[in-house]
Amino acid sequence: MERPALKITCSLLAGCLHYSLLAAISWMLIMSTDLYLKTKRPFADHEQRFVNSRYIGWIGPAIVVVTTAGITRENYATDKCWLDTRSGAIWAFISPVCLTLLIVMVQLVITGYVAFEKSKLPNQTRKKTQKLKQIRTLFLGMLLLTPAVGLTWIFGVIIVFCDSEMMEYIFVFVNSMQGFFIWLSQCVFSEEVQLTLMKRFKNQIRHDISINTIMSNSTTNTNCVTIEDL
């Protein structure tokens, strides 16, 4: 492959990685903000706001990637197919990540405090109790999702300023655990997933019992017919 073709391929790959990671960070911020606003305004129209947030989650990162690539041009990516540090393109990723992590951590601290204070209030209605339970579930999921998607990139930022092989190993290890943390937050600790699995399990048991009952009745009827024939 010729050098210009290799440069273009690396730039495209770096752009895809840049966009994908920014989108993941953006959606973490959207989820954290939605959870924060639910504690402040429990009965607001959160569903409509969450639908409108998709423009921030998908279009926002695209604008950052296109703008960065347009400014840096040939110096957008290195021969390792990642953002160039010499041209400053890497800051189009580091800056959003650091700012997002700061906002998310502040929102999570406030959300946890507000949810804890509201849970101590006496004589709450059933609707408010269910809302607080939902907020606590989402809060736990965000606590697991934040280190999975965001905090691990702190080591990536350190690598930019400090060429440490140990930090590189730590960065690779903690990022390889992202799938595990996402599975925990979105599956294991998701009340919706738990209820769905439990419902499906109960339906399967009922189905098996029905089949066994039908087969048992069929066998009994067959035996009765055989005795009468004798």
Question: How confident is the model over 148-160, as pLDDT tens digits?
Answer: 656 677 777 777 6
- Which single residue is written with the structure tokens 């279009």? 59
Confidence of residue 67 (pLDDT cuts 50, 70, 90): very high
Residue 83 has pLDDT above 70, yes or no: yes
The pLDDT tens digits for 119-156 are 666 666 666 666 666 666 666 666 666 666 566 777 77
Helices (H), the chain: 3-40, 46-52, 54, 60-72, 91-119, 126-146, 153-161, 165-176, 178-183, 191-229
Taking alpha carbons only, the member of 100, 102, 21 closest to residue 68 is: 21
Fold held by 3-209: Rhopdopsin 7-helix transmembrane proteins (1.20.1070)
Mapped onto helix, strand or coil, the DSSP state of residue 120 is: coil
Is residue 118 a contact partner of residue 22, using CB atoms and an 8 Å limit? no
Global model pTM greater than 0.75: no
The separation between CA 218 and the C-alpha centre of its own chain, rounded to angstroms, equals 50
76-82 average pLDDT score: 86
Q: Is 31 exposed, middle or buried (0-12, 13-18, 19+ CB in 10 A)?
A: buried
Say what the pLDDT of residue 48 is: 72
Confidence of residue 15 (pLDDT cuts 50, 70, 90): very high
